[in-house]
Chain A
Amino acid sequence: MGDVKTAGWFAPQNRKETIAGLLFVLPALIGFVTFVAGPMIATLVISLMKYDLFSAPTFVGLKNFQRMFVDPRLWKAFGNTATFAVFAVLGNVGLGVVLAVLLNRRMPKALQYIYRAAYFFPSLVGLIFVAVLWQFMFQRDIGIINYYLGKIGIGPVSWLSSPQVALISVIILDVWKNVGFAMLIAIAGLQSISTDYYDAARVDGARGWRTFWQITVPLLSPTILFLITMNTIGAFKVFESIVVLTNGGPGDATRSLVMYIYEQGFKSFNMGYASAISLLLLGVIVIITTIQFVLSKRWTFYE
Chain B
Amino acid sequence: MSEIAKFAAGHDRMTKRHWLSAETRASIDRVQTILVYIILGAGAFLMVAPFLWMFTTSLRPTTEAFNLPPRWLPGFDATLESYQRLLSSGVPIGRFFMNSLTMSTAVTLGYVATTTIAGYAFARLRFPFKNALFVILLLSLMVPIQTTLVPLFLLMRGLGLVDSQWAIILPGLTGAFAPGMSGVFGIFMMRQFFLTLPKELFEAARVDGSNHFLTFWAVALPLARPQIAALSVIIFTMTWNDYFLPLIFLNSIDQMVLPVGIMSIREPVGNSSATSEVIAAVALSILPLLVVFLVAQRWIVDSFVRAGVKG
Contacts and interface: CB of A to CB of B under 8 A. Distances in A.
Interface of A: 1-2, 5, 9, 14, 16-18, 20-22, 24-25, 27-32, 34-40, 42-43, 46, 99, 102-103, 105, 107, 111, 114-130, 132-137, 139, 141-142, 144, 147, 176, 180-181, 184-185, 187-189, 204-205, 207, 223, 226, 230, 237, 239-240, 243-244, 258, 261-262, 265-266, 271, 274-275, 278-279, 281-282, 285-286, 289
Interface stretch (B74-82, B115-123, B223-231): B115-123
B41 to A, nearest CB: 8
B21 to A, nearest CB: 17
Contacts of A107: 33, 37
B68 A133 contact: no
B240 A117 contact: no
Interface string B100-135: 000000000000001101101110111110100100
Given A43-B150, A136-B279, A240-B243, A266 B248 contact: yes
A17 B283 CA distance: 51
Interface of B: 10, 13-14, 17, 33, 36-37, 39-41, 43-48, 50-51, 53-54, 66, 68-70, 114-115, 117-118, 120-122, 124-128, 130, 133, 136-137, 140, 142-144, 146-155, 170-171, 173-177, 182-183, 187, 199, 202-203, 211-213, 216, 237, 240-244, 247-248, 258-259, 262-263, 266, 269-270, 272, 275, 278-279, 282, 285-286, 289-290, 292-293, 297, 300-301, 304-305, 308-309
Contacts of A278: 144, 146-147, 149-150
A124 B147 contact: no
B224 to A, nearest CB: 14
B144 A115 contact: no
A226 B310 CA distance: 10
A129 B199 contact: no
Contacts of A105: 33, 36
A230 to B, nearest CB: 8
Contact of A127 (B17, B148, B243, B308): B243
21 contacts: A1-B203, A20-B125, A20-B213, A24-B121, A32-B176, A35-B174, A37-B140, A116-B301, A118-B48, A119-B43, A121-B290, A124-B292, A129-B241, A132-B278, A133-B279, A142-B272, A184-B305, A188-B308, A261-B149, A271-B150, A278-B146
